[in-house]
A and B are shown apart, each in its own frame.
Chain A
Amino acid sequence: MIPDHNPQDITRVLFDNFPLWMLVTFYLVAFGAIGVFLYGVWAQIRKYRRGTRSGAWSPFFPRFGTMFARVLDHKTIKRRARAAGAAHQFIFYGFTVLFIGTSIITLDHDITGPITGLHFWHGAFYLFFSLAMDLAGLSLIGGLIYMMYRRGWMKLPRLDYTRPDRSPDEPDYDRSGYRREDWAFLWALILIGVTGYLLEAVRLVWLQNDPAVWDYRWWSPVGALLAHLMKGIGIVPEGAADIRMVLWWTHGILALTFIALVPFTKVKHIFTAMGSLMARDPEAKRRMPTADVEAEKIGFSLLTDFSDKFLVNVDACTKCGRCHEACPANASGYPLSPRDLVLSLRELANDKLSHASMPEGPIEVIGTEVNMIRPETLWSCRTCAACVEICPVGIEHLPMIVQMRRALIEDGNFDTMLQPTLKSLQKSGNSLGENKRKRPRWTQKLDFEIKDARTEPVDVLWYVGDYASFDPRSQKVTITFARILKAAGINFGILYEDEQTAGNDVRRIGEEGLFQALAEANIELLNSCQFKTIVTTDPHTFNTIRNEYPEFGGNYAIEHASSMLERLIREGSIPQPANLDYRVTFHDPCHLGRINGCTEAPRQVLQSMGVDLVELGRTRDNSFCCGAGGGRIWLPDPPELKKPAELRAAEAAEIPGLDVLVVNCPKCLNMLEDGVKGTGNEGNFRVLELTELLAEAMGLDGAQQKGLDEAPETAAVSA
């Protein structure tokens, strides 16, 4: 490899030809830059520590390991953006190698060399180093060029800074500062990379007569290529020496400025994204934060109520816009974009918590002033967790929103339409304003008795849920499910009038005290019953019993109806259903698919009926919420806005020859039937529950449902 030279001579010149003042100046600038960097890091940490302590970074090592793996494999960045993820990976690995390489020079020249006399940056090691740095530069610049193309020419809606939560004439509407920062960041890195290459080339030209340099030029291939080009246009060694001095300083000042600015600019995401990923709570989309309802205050109304973790979260955002694109509220024109919520909180924190001393008095977060979060923004959320799911840096928008809603509820700051619902929940344990006694009334339409799980042991305790018990359309599904269970020979029972809503929406609307009271009452009731497993047709109930009740001492085996039906078909308790000649599509309920990962069971049930399943554009973890979640089903949608369900129905309508839009949740059924009507698709395809389709394939339809179809007429007469 190095035939004719002493390996000690194969290295790179650093400060050759530098007068002393230049050398001193360089070290002053370098230490200055590092000083500014360290101050910035300290100031940021001080800002985060002005929040409450979350303890989210412990246990340290397992969390660090998971974060480290995510950083290396870029899995979260590649999701739903493969090209951007790959480009980022090129930038990341390029930058990391260049950073390590530069650190090695510092180590050799300023640390091990002067202190121990050990120099290792020469010979074969230097040549490999040189090659690695050259390739890393290509990787970095290639990735950056793609990102520029993406930001500048692809015109992606997710990279659009249009805000749904402010009008353009408001002082905090403008996000062009971020746009400029995005571009400055890309250009700064590109310039550092390009000047690095040019510097390398010009050094080769300058030292072309030194065989210890020139003979090994192809170990830095990009530099060598550029050097030949420079020679070709007539640059001589003396001229190259002058250019080298200019380029050396340009490259050096650029790189040092970049380092100094890390903590103050978008560049800090290198650290904050790692901190945020490390603190990530895998349960964040399923389980809302626990709260002491006896405490002096509940929820987040002040900036200082936010934890250090959430303050790091909002600083980790790189405005990739995936949440902005996935959010059903934003898509329907509601004043909420998870991205803008995060950026407002970030700016508020930068404004109020970054200074040497804290501002006097409480720092309100919810309000109409600059960078405050508006109540209508918080009420727009459907808690579908699409934002939490897709955020590549682990920002947890949903728990922040729920915490702020808790403060609003406590303060009585909410739509007056919600008050009767909450009062009904307090009094009767259901959200529909119905008397407790009415809850099991749907069972009167069956031609058999359902066991009372309160008084006799059953195998399966069916937790029916609010909408499934009271909503006339959902009742049909409930009755159908009862008949399927009966036909499959399941020993099941219900809780009759003692069942209350499980509280999923109550918790997400922010009424934590009521949620905990409901959870405690339901758990006490469940614990007094004898059963093996719980089943429910409602994904909201499923989520809350499965993921939120354990915190209150309720640990149960629970299945969603779709998983149970899939199992019963597989085990043969339900005979092989007949083939249905339908073209169908399946709408994944948020709380079943994205939030609990149950995406395959309903599809297998569909498969067993031989239907032609055509997937929607957005499925499984990327399903698009029907708009009902988080208590939004209790709040009226303003007529001038599109409903999320209408957008979803329009998406389904794009499937040619669609017969049935299959849903698997009482609330989705309610919302999407309206959505289909609202988009004029009523005659084009039907909305059916998975259960109903299965009953049809099992030949269970119509006949035995005594009096069901007459029900509306009876009601009309008595009214």
Chain B
Amino acid sequence: MKILVPVKQIASLDDQFEMRDDGRDVDEDYLEKDLNEFDHFSVEEALLIKEAAGDGVEVVVAIIGDDDSDDALRTALAKGADRGIRVWDDSLAEADGTSVARILAKVVEREKPDMVFTGAQSSDFGSATTGMALAGLLGWPHAAVVSNLEYKPGASSAKLRRELEGGLEEIMTIRCPAVLSIQLGINQPRYASLRGIKQAKQKPVDELSLDDLGLGASDVEPAFHVRKMYAPERGKAELITGSAAEQAARLAQIIKEIRGM
């Protein structure tokens, strides 16, 4: 019995930053790298299933990223995942959700997990495509934004709850194996102490290249290309105080200013 949890190392932004010279991304210096917020929950969900079952469940975390992303992988391992897989090739620098899904599909072929849990989305780009694309490539059922899960290892189906728009929730049964995209708040993720993260260095991590997975650079071509990234100009807000007449006068003044009158 095996659960595969693909995770991502995301970049978070300071409120003051500069753009890269080519204007297509933020200058690396202003980014702080971390394990994707959503993935804390997908890893936790897998660990809870493993712990409830006692023995016999293996949790494998997979990441597509360079040496740098080892930190994120080790955080997941420190929480209690059994081993890791890291896939990297320099051609993946601009990989999008679909390219990542293609790689993950090969990882699934290799690992033959019984379930795949992804985060509902990444907290930097937020495309929410990886899980969906992976399910499509595998021909497995997929459920997005899963907020509650009842699953016994090895069962042929799982019961889950998903959040819909407008405060609605949907309860569904899904055939397994399946790909589930896990929503924030499904559980209370545990803390990985720094000591645990350091000790997780001793856990096995398979480092794979595209070759190892039988893929070539052309298989992982991104479907889109970022042309420009920029910070839109900020709107202004002003709290207008005073009597009704004063407020009206100020309002009129602002309207005139905007209209250039």
Binding site for B on A (CB under 8 A): 293-294, 298, 409-410, 412, 414, 416, 418-419, 422-423, 426-428, 435-438, 511-514, 517, 716-718
Contact = CB atoms under 8 A, between A and B. Distances in A.
B194 interface: yes
B191 A427 contact: no
Contacts of B195: 293, 298, 410, 512-514
Given A437-B16, A513-B195, 6 more contacts: A409-B191, A409-B193, A437-B14, A438-B16, A512-B195, A513-B197
Contacts of B32: 427-428, 435-436
Given A427-B32, A438-B14, A717-B238, A412 B191 contact: yes
A187 to B, nearest CB: 52
A593 B99 CA distance: 61
B194 A514 contact: yes
A512 B30 CA distance: 28
A427 B37 CA distance: 14
B238 A412 contact: no
B188 A416 contact: yes
Nearest to A298: B195
Interface string B91-111: 000000000000000000000
Interface in B204-261: 234, 236-239
B237 A293 contact: no
Interface string B6-32: 000000001110000000000000101
Nearest to A412: B190
A716 B238 CA distance: 9
A511 B198 CA distance: 13
Contact of A293 (B34, B188, B198): B198
B30 A414 contact: no
A483 to B, nearest CB: 25
15 contacts: A298-B195, A409-B193, A419-B189, A419-B191, A423-B34, A423-B191, A436-B32, A437-B30, A438-B16, A511-B193, A513-B194, A514-B194, A514-B195, A717-B237, A717-B238
B250 to A, nearest CB: 15
A294 B195 CA distance: 7
A42 B103 CA distance: 67
A514 to B, nearest CB: 4
B238 A513 contact: no
Interface in B146-192: 188-191
Nearest to A512: B195
Contacts of B197: 426, 513
B127 interface: no
Given A422-B191, A717-B237, A410 B16 contact: no
A213 B191 CA distance: 80
A512 B194 CA distance: 8
Interface of B: 14-16, 30, 32, 34, 188-191, 193-199, 234, 236-239
- Which secondary structure dominates where chain A touches chain B? helix
A410 B14 contact: no
Given A294-B199, A437-B30, A426 B194 contact: yes
A712 to B, nearest CB: 13
B14 A435 contact: yes
Contacts of B189: 419
A511 B194 contact: yes
Contact of A513 (B188, B190, B196): B196
Contacts of A511: 193-194
A716 B237 CA distance: 9
Given A410-B193, A435-B14, A437-B16, A513 B198 contact: yes
A517 B194 CA distance: 8
A418 B190 CA distance: 11
A419 B195 CA distance: 15
B110 to A, nearest CB: 31
B193 A513 contact: yes
A511 B195 CA distance: 8
Contacts of B234: 718
Contact of A414 (B15, B191, B236): B191
A422 B34 CA distance: 13
Given A416-B188, A513-B194, A517-B194, A427 B30 contact: no
Nearest to A420: B191
Contacts of B16: 437-438
Nearest to A422: B191
Contacts of A416: 188
Nearest to B239: A716
A435 B194 contact: no
Contacts of A435: 14-15, 32
Contacts of A717: 236-238
A716 to B, nearest CB: 8
Contacts of A294: 198-199
Contacts of B14: 435, 437-438
Minimum-distance CB pairs A-B, first 4: A513-B195, A435-B14, A513-B194, A412-B190
B212 to A, nearest CB: 31
Contacts of A414: 191
